[in-house]
Amino acid sequence: MDPRIARRAAGAALAFGILAEVLFDRAALGINVPIATALVLAIVTLLAPNRRPADRLDLWLAGLAMVASLGPALRTDPSVVQLDLVLTIAAVAAWSTAMSGVAVTRRSAAAVAGLGVEAGVALGIGFAWLVSHAASDGALSSAGRQVGRLAPVLRGALIAVPVMAGFALLLGSADAVFGRAIDDALRFPVDLEDVSNRALFSILAAVLVGGPIAIAVGGSKALIGSFATGTAAPGGAPPDGARPSGLRPYATEALVVLAAVDALFAAFAAVQIAFLFGGASTLSAIGMTYSDYARQGYFQLVFVVGLAGLLLLGAHEVAGLTRRFLVLAVALLLLTGLILASAAVRLALYQGAYGWTELRFFVAASIAWLATCLALTLGALRANRMRWLPHAIAMSAAAVTLAVSAIGPQAFVMHQNLARVLDPSLVAVDGHSGFDVDYASELGDDAVPDLVAALAVVPTPDAAALRVQLEGRRAALQLDSSSAGPLSWNLSRERARAALATLGAPQ
């Protein structure tokens, strides 16, 4: 692949990304779809080596893409628009394949399906492939030669910016105090959120259009082959003096990203220690209650922990098990553990105020699994057995899944909520201790025994409504012929039948 062609292709993708922000960001689908389609087809055609497909029977693909792209400009029916968009994308991918010199129309259906699979994979990695080949002749490394040993650090800092932005967005949305601190620290005359959103939109559009461009200039097989074999672009080694000796390629960049994320997590941990773990007095000083502070955030925090684990695995693959990596990795794991503890505390506070639901049970189970993953990662780092970590994580996921199945989320939820009715001390001071009949009626047979037991303890209006629901459930089970045979025996269903039989005659 000629690096000059790769640079032109990557530049065209970035230019289209900027234009796509004007065409689509904050704009409904309409005439902008055929305009963008025409631009992509033109870029693919101009950058392709042959400038036209090798097979004349493939010329109709470009016309199909244009005709299909008119759908969003002519119709507003969501189903029709979605079908037209899918057809447009498929036609553009097929045209890109044809422009790479591969005949499409003449092939059999099975061969076209295979090309479709290859094109789908190539669309996802195309932009990265273009960028990697754009620098393969060293033309983009002149600036790196000037800064010498600082070049890897600067590259790592640039890579850390979007990573930090993503983590900061999640942490800021999870914690009102931390989000307020970020807003205060990043308060500029311009709307940084708007600028970052537009930039991210442009980059995403560039990545998306980079796929068909890469297919046209390089071919799907070349893209997939280079990524599958891990073949580096020739001439892509860093200049002499740009990287400390003894480090793997791009190890410094990975360590810089880890250090930046460690710093962000440390700032978040400081907020948690001062506010969430510091007591209600610190929260009242900013006008918030515990339930308000804990109501939002644990979903984002659980997601942050998962992303941090993926970041650590990726950094290990790049940097290797060096002393610097160990220090940064252990710091990241400890800080991630504190973030996970924050998620657990928030969930406990919210559950104490409003009771259990099946979703909150699964969040609690995911927190337990992520805590296990953190412990496994620490053990793998200490034993220098990181290659076995995915296996250990998979086994722990299987163990947690079996434990969840053994506990039974619906039965657990109803048992705990019933305990809150019997013992008001289990309810937080500003919480709600009522029994939610509507939610209880949505649960399956696992919860029926506890629902029958609840008739004796819930307030009379709720008990009457619950009895109606249970009598309906009993009638449904009696009429369900599919579960009457011996081959349909189920423990939870039989327990539900036995509990419902104690209701007596319908009232």
DSSP of 7-71:
HHHHHHHHHHHHHHHHHHTT--SSTHHHHHHHHHHHHHHHHSSSSS-SSGGGTHHHHHHHHHHTH
CB atoms within 10 A of CB 11: 13
Structure tokens at 469: 């629901």
234-243, 250-259, 359-368, 383-392 — which is least confidently predicted?
234-243
In this prediction, residue 507 carries a pLDDT of 58
Task: Write down the mean pLDDT value for the chain.
Answer: 77
Please check the confidence at residue 306 and state whether its pLDDT lies above 80.
no
Report which of residues 248 and 270 the model is more confident about. Answer: 270
pLDDT of residue 141: 55
More confident residue, 238 or 16: 16
Mean pLDDT computed over 265-279: 71
Q: Cα separation of 283 and 276, whole Å?
A: 8
How sure is the predictor about 432, in pLDDT bands with cuts at 50, 70 and 90?
A: low
The residues near 474 (Cβ < 8 Å, ≥ 6 apart) are 497, 500, 501, 503
- Measured CA to CA, the distance from residue 7 to residue 222 in angstroms comes to 17
Candidates 137, 135, 122; CA nearest to 214 is 122
At residue 112 the predicted structure's pLDDT band, cuts being 50, 70 and 90, is confident
Calpha distance 182→351 (Å, rounded) = 28
| Element containing residue 282 per DSSP (H, E) | helix 280-284
Q: Which of 117-131, 163-177, 271-285, 478-492 has the lowest mean pLDDT?
A: 271-285
Calpha distance 407→412 (Å, rounded): 7
- Tell me: pLDDT of 238 over 60: no
Q: What is the mean pLDDT of residues 357-368?
A: 84
So what's the pLDDT on residue 298? Answer: 61
Question: Residue 193 — pLDDT band, cuts 50, 70, 90?
Answer: low
**CA–CA gap between residue 474 and residue 503 (Å, rounded):** 9
d(CA 256, CA 325) in angstroms, rounded, equals 10
Rg over alpha carbons for the chain, rounded to the nearest Å, is: 29
279 conformational bin, left if phi > 0, alpha if psi -120 to 50, beta if neither: left
| pLDDT score at 102 | 81
Name the more confident of 462 and 278.
Answer: 462
Residue linked to tokens 């029958």: 452
Six token digits for residue 445: 């047979």
DSSP 283: H
Angstrom distance (rounded) from CA 425 to CA 422: 9
| Residue 38: per-residue pLDDT | 93
Residue 27: phi and psi, rounded to 5, are -135, 135
Give, in order, the Cα–Cα distances in Å from 100 to each of 91, 220, 283, 301: 14, 8, 62, 45
CA 193 to chain centre: 20
Count the neighbouring beta carbons within 10 Å of the beta carbon of residue 338: 18
The answer to whether residues 305 and 370 touch, using CB atoms and an 8 Å cutoff, is yes
Range with top average pLDDT, 45-59, 432-446, 484-498: 484-498
Token pair of 30, please? 């309409």
Give the pLDDT score at 223. 64
The pLDDT value recorded for residue 78 is 82
| 488 pLDDT above the threshold of 90 | no
What is the distance of C-alpha 425 from the center of its chain? Answer: 38
Helices (H), 423-459: 437-441, 448-454
Please provide residue 434's backbone torsions phi and psi, each rounded to the nearest 5 degrees: -65, 160
Calculate mean pLDDT across residues 497-506: 76
Q: Quick check: 57 and 105 in contact, CB under 8 A?
A: yes
User: Exposed, middle or buried: residue 402 (CB in 10 Å: 0-12, 13-18, 19+)?
Assistant: exposed
Least confident of 9-23, 29-43, 141-155, 460-474: 141-155
Residue 497 DSSP SS3: helix
Tell me, what amino acid is at 309?
G
CA–CA separation, 102 vs 79, rounded Å? 32
Q: pLDDT value at position 251? A: 82
What is the tens place of the pLDDT at every residue in 113-150? 777 777 777 666 777 777 777 666 555 555 445 545 67
Integer Cα distance of 13 and 19 in angstroms: 10
For residues 99 and 46, give the distance between their C-alpha atoms in angstroms, rounded to a whole number. 10
Structure tokens at 502: 């104690």
Query: What token pair was written down for 3?
Result: 């690096």
Residue 279 reports pLDDT greater than 50: no
Query: Do 115 and 220 meet the contact criterion of CB atoms below 8 Å apart?
Result: yes
